[in-house]
Chain A
Amino acid sequence: KQEVTQIPAALSVPEGENLVLNCSFTDSAIYNLQWFRQDPGKGLTSLLLIQSSQREQTSGRLNASLDKSSGRSTLYIAASQPGDSATYLCAAIFGNEKLTFGTGTRLTIIP
């Protein structure tokens, strides 16, 4: 069964620190992997998408990496800010063209 896992479920970090969120997946035959942000009571907003042929994508203070051989992706956030507080979900597309979501990491940036 194709699964996506995110550990830890929650993370608190002082403002200004750099941090890494982790995502692991069970099937290396991945088409792409996406990172989403979800604010409380809101829908999901796409942050970064990494295709299977790529190793990383960057957008502003965010950098996402993909290592298919180890079944891992990371989301790096530089110089964290209180506005970064949210739940971050990763999702993978395997061969069936449907997104499989992880359970998310709830990030709190402490001012």
Chain B
Amino acid sequence: NAGVTQTPKFRILKIGQSMTLQCTQDMNHNYMYWYRQDPGMGLKLIYYSVGAGITDKGEVPNGYNVSRSTTEDFPLRLELAAPSQTSVYFCASSYPLGLSTDTQYFGPGTRLTVL
């Protein structure tokens, strides 16, 4: 049981390049999330998904796209990288929150630098 895995761990992009951050979970969670964390800040929600084929915007979706074709995978796409997207990106998964006693499980993060 690997939990939530993310690849790559580190990446440097040039302005205007594109890339996909991969996220996979093996806990059969319906809900998956992408966050970004800037230095000294908390996590901000980029996109989330409540199940395969369903995605929705979070607090800071501009410049990103997601897809959810399977329960296990939730890739995050950056189409035209900008310096403002330099950050650490975390993927997480969970059962439905709200009244649940369960929590979100986080991947180790991807550190992205855009130069």
Question: Chain A interface (Cβ within 8 Å of chain B)?
Answer: 4, 9, 31-32, 34, 41-46, 49, 51, 89, 91, 93, 97-99, 101-104
Contact = CB atoms under 8 A, between A and B. Distances in A.
B106 A103 contact: no
Interface string B41-69: 11111001000000000100000000000
Given A98-B45, A98-B48, A104-B42, A43 B97 contact: no
Nearest to B106: A43
Interface string B70-99: 000000000000000000001010001111
B98 A97 contact: yes
Contact of B101 (A4, A49, A99): A49
Contacts of B101: 32, 49, 51
A45 B106 CA distance: 7
Contacts, number: 58
Contact of B42 (A4, A42, A43, A49): A4
Q: Contact size class for B?
A: 20 to 34
Contacts of A101: 35, 42-44
Interface string B28-49: 0000010100001111110010
A31 B109 contact: no
A24 B90 CA distance: 24
A46 B93 CA distance: 13
B103 A43 contact: no
A31 B99 CA distance: 6
Contacts of A41: 109, 111
Given A9-B40, A46-B104, A101-B42, A93 B97 contact: yes
